[in-house]
Amino acid sequence: MWTQIVFWVCAAGAVVTGVAVFRVDSMARATFALLASFFFAAGTILLLNLAYLGMLVVLMMIMEMVVMVVFMIMYMMNPAGLMPMTMVHNRKGSLAIAGGVFAALATGILLIPWPTSDQPRPADPTRALGEALMGSKMLVMMVLGLCLFATMVATVVLATHRGRYDRYGDGLRAKRPDDPVRGGLDR
Amino acid sequence: MVDELPWWGGLLLPVVLAALAAATASGDAVLHDRASGGPGPRAAVTLPLREAGGLLVQQRRRTVGADVLLARGGALALLPAAVLASLVTPLGRWAVADLSIGIVWFNAMEAVAWAAVWLVGWGANSAYGLVGGYRFIAQGLAYELPHMFALITAALGAGSLRVADVVAAQDPVWFVVWMPVAFAVYLLSVLAMSFWGPFDQPVGADAAGGASAELSGVDRLVFVAARWLLLTSGAAFAVPLFLGGGAGPVLPAWLWSLLKTLAVLALLVWVKRRIPALRMERYQEIAWVVLIPVTLLQALVVAVVVLAR
């Protein structure tokens, strides 16, 4: 009974705050509406007794949304709700696509014969889920993680406009780096 | 080892936290009074409470074009987050909740400060507030990763994210003995996450109060109180994480927990008075170039010890 109520509050809350992301004018409000939507989504994960994953969603999404709000305000047209702008484009096309995808997924949910199990709940559902998802694919996941990390580092290295030759001179012989920002190590 | 309290434990928690926070604020005020020649220790002891009373009756100011929803939401989110962070912190043998993922819970609650401080700074529609908000994001990027590695190291030593298991694993050797680096980094992070002491630049006087520049009345009281509570919560969590929880001779466990928490708080107050402001761009480089490798090495040492024994 209570889990039913909490589930529907979370489900409806996630959708409503998700809609709010595209209805509000301010990029700050849009970002934190999205954060609220993630919180509701985390609620449904907690309902599945996946405490670790649920709290991880809360933890990571707070940080991600705070980093995202910096970029939203930096790059979007309407930073503080001062100039009207719309977050939606190609209204008819996207409505058709969204409706179609929703209908397909909903029929899928209703038509698929979901597997049932008469085994008792595992003591630690998070571990069981992790093993089911990637037990045999751990090596792939580790390599994938390394690749993603290397890509991030490479992107930052390529994107930064100051390299080591700017900092330590053409021969890399400067004792102290020449940096525009004061403080830090070695200077 | 750690028992969950019945429902009234949840009511007791804010009271205990508030008392610890008020004691710390009073102690800090007395030291400040002594250093700066104020009206004397007797007046300084009650100064935080009198200031709180003053804020309670002060009229709220509002800036033009403020985003009141976001600004108040930020301050209001910080207060429960600071209290809820201590939900999993045991006082001796009792905890309000003994979650299987207690350490992640604590981490998630203190991360709320990221959003809250930025929201308060942004919502005021003031340049100084904005500067303070962005300063805290930069500070967060600096302190959070070494902080997480310090938390993980303690969890690694116990082989569990449950705080009760972490406390039990410190019998007889406290984690602070063989994880001193993680402990030191954790204390630095507590100062940084509660933007207090050497890390108070997000609300620094050089930016007219930074994120809290435009706060007044009840809004300021909520924000400042939440900051003290966050500091207290962080200091209190160091006790089960590194200082053996309620372990100690003669005295009951709950008293040991309280004494250790007060000792950590006293250490933090001392650090505040000894170390000058550490700007976030400087700490960023220290954190990523020195602290992250050092905490990773600490985690490696702990992992090897756990595997070998």
DSSP secondary structure code for residue B289 in this structure: I
Residue A161 pLDDT > 60 = yes
* Token pair listed for B119: 């929201």
- Beta-carbon separation of A66 and B115 below 8 A: yes
Mean pLDDT of the region A55-67:
95
Torsion angles phi and psi, residue B91, rounded to 5? -100, 100
- Asked if B75 reaches chain A (Cβ–Cβ under 8 Å), the answer is no
Residue A102 pLDDT > 70 = yes
Residue A187 pLDDT > 70 = no
CA distance B79 to B95: 20
Query: Which pLDDT does position A52 carry in this prediction?
Result: 92
Q: Which residues of B touch A63 (CB under 8 A)?
A: 111, 114, 140, 144
- In chain B, the residue whose alpha carbon lies closest to the alpha carbon of A65 is B115
Q: Which pLDDT band holds residue A132 (cuts at 50, 70, 90)?
A: confident
- Asked if B106 reaches chain A (Cβ–Cβ under 8 Å), the answer is no
* Token pair listed for B210: 């930074």
Mean pLDDT of the region A158-184:
83
Q: Which of B67, B100, B111 sits opposite A59 (nearest CB)?
A: B111
Cβ contacts below 8 Å, chain A against chain B, sum to 73
Q: Which residues of B touch A69 (CB under 8 A)?
A: 118
> What is the CB-side half-sphere exposure of residue B275 using CA atoms within 13 A?
16
Q: Which of A26, A52, A181 sits opposite B101 (nearest CB)?
A: A52
What is the C-alpha R_g of chain A?
23
| pLDDT digit string, tens, across residues B18-35 | 999 999 999 999 999 988
* Averaged pLDDT of chain A: 87
Query: Which pLDDT does position B137 carry in this prediction?
Result: 95
Q: Which residues of A touch B111 (CB under 8 A)?
A: 59, 62-63
Whose tokens are 């298991």? That residue is B165
- Beta-carbon separation of B105 and A55 below 8 A: yes
Query: Which pLDDT does position A166 carry in this prediction?
Result: 87
Query: Which pLDDT does position A155 carry in this prediction?
Result: 94
Which of A34, A49, A62, A74 should one mutate to test binding to chain B, selecting the residue with the greatest count of B CBs within 10 A? A62
Say which range, A183-187, B62-66, B85-89, B211-215, has the weakest mean pLDDT. A183-187
Residue A186 pLDDT > 80 = no
Say which range, A84-98, B56-70, B205-219, has the weakest mean pLDDT. A84-98
Query: Which pLDDT does position A122 carry in this prediction?
Result: 83
Residue B125 pLDDT > 70 = yes
Query: Which pLDDT does position A83 carry in this prediction?
Result: 62
Residue B186 pLDDT > 60 = yes
CA distance A157 to A159: 6
DSSP secondary structure code for residue B279 in this structure: -
Query: Which pLDDT does position B50 carry in this prediction?
Result: 93
Query: Which pLDDT does position A82 carry in this prediction?
Result: 59
Q: Which residues of B touch A183 (CB under 8 A)?
A: 279, 281-282, 285
ipTM for the predicted complex comes to 0.91
Mean pLDDT of the region B127-136:
94
Is residue B229 within 8 A of residue B84, CB to CB? The reply is no
| pLDDT digit string, tens, across residues B170-182 | 988 999 999 999 9
CA distance B220 to B73: 13
Q: Which of A51, A80, A185 sits opposite B289 (nearest CB)?
A: A185
CA distances in angstroms from A111 to A18, A106, B122, listed in the order given: 27, 9, 48
- In chain B, the residue whose alpha carbon lies closest to the alpha carbon of A184 is B282
Q: Which pLDDT band holds residue B264 (cuts at 50, 70, 90)?
A: very high
Is residue A124 within 8 A of residue A117, CB to CB? The reply is no
Query: Which pLDDT does position B227 carry in this prediction?
Result: 95
Query: Which pLDDT does position B2 carry in this prediction?
Result: 75
DSSP secondary structure code for residue B207 in this structure: G
- Beta-carbon separation of B282 and A70 below 8 A: no
Mean pLDDT of the region A101-123:
90
Mean pLDDT of the region B38-63:
89
- Beta-carbon separation of A185 and B290 below 8 A: yes
B209-236 as b/e: b if 16+ CB within 10 A: bbbbbbbeebbbbbbbbbbbbbbbbbbb
Q: Which of A51, A184, A185 sits opposite B99 (nearest CB)?
A: A51
CA distance B110 to B113: 6
Query: Which pLDDT does position B182 carry in this prediction?
Result: 95
Query: Which pLDDT does position A16 carry in this prediction?
Result: 96
Report percent pLDDT > 70 for chain A: 91
CA distance B199 to A186: 21
Q: How far is CA B116 from the centre of its chain?
A: 14
Mean pLDDT of the region A34-42:
96
- Beta-carbon separation of B101 and A69 below 8 A: no
Q: Which of A26, A70, A184 sits opposite B67 (nearest CB)?
A: A26
Instruction: Outline where B172-216 has alpha helix (H).
Output: 175-178, 180-193
Residue B306 pLDDT > 90 = yes
A13-49 as b/e: b if 16+ CB within 10 A: bbeebbebbeebebbbbbbbbbbbbbbbbbbbbbeee
Mean pLDDT of the region B266-293:
91
Q: pLDDT higher for B7 or B198? A: B198
Query: Which pLDDT does position B93 carry in this prediction?
Result: 87
Q: How far is CA B110 from the centre of its chain?
A: 7
- Asked if B114 reaches chain A (Cβ–Cβ under 8 Å), the answer is yes
- Beta-carbon separation of A69 and B282 below 8 A: no
Which pairs with CB-CB distance under 8 Å and at least 24 residues apart come from B215-219?
A: B215/B75, B215/B120, B215/B124, B216/B55, B216/B58, B216/B59, B216/B60, B216/B61, B217/B55, B217/B56, B217/B58, B217/B59, B217/B60, B217/B61, B218/B55, B218/B56, B218/B60, B219/B60, B219/B71, B219/B72, B219/B75
Query: Which pLDDT does position A79 carry in this prediction?
Result: 53
Is residue B214 within 8 A of residue B63, CB to CB? The reply is yes
- Plot region of A116 (φ>0 → left; ψ -120 to 50 → alpha; else → beta): beta
Residue B124 pLDDT > 70 = yes
CA distance B146 to A80: 33
Q: Which pLDDT band holds residue B53 (cuts at 50, 70, 90)?
A: very high
Q: Which of A29, A35, A56 sits opposite B115 (nearest CB)?
A: A35
Residue B115 pLDDT > 60 = yes
DSSP secondary structure code for residue B3 in this structure: E
Considering only residues 283 to 302 of chain B, which have any Cβ-Cβ distance to chain A shorter than 8 Å? 284-286, 289-290
Q: Which pLDDT band holds residue A86 (cuts at 50, 70, 90)?
A: low
* Averaged pLDDT of chain B: 92
Q: pLDDT higher for B201 or B5? A: B201
Q: Which pLDDT band holds residue B48 (cuts at 50, 70, 90)?
A: very high
Q: Which pLDDT band holds residue A85 (cuts at 50, 70, 90)?
A: low
Mean pLDDT of the region B67-84:
93
Q: Which of B101, B134, B281 sits opposite A55 (nearest CB)?
A: B101
- In chain A, the residue whose alpha carbon lies closest to the alpha carbon of B123 is A28
- Asked if A65 reaches chain B (Cβ–Cβ under 8 Å), the answer is yes
Is residue A28 within 8 A of residue B70, CB to CB? The reply is yes
Identify the H or E element spanning B304: helix B292-308
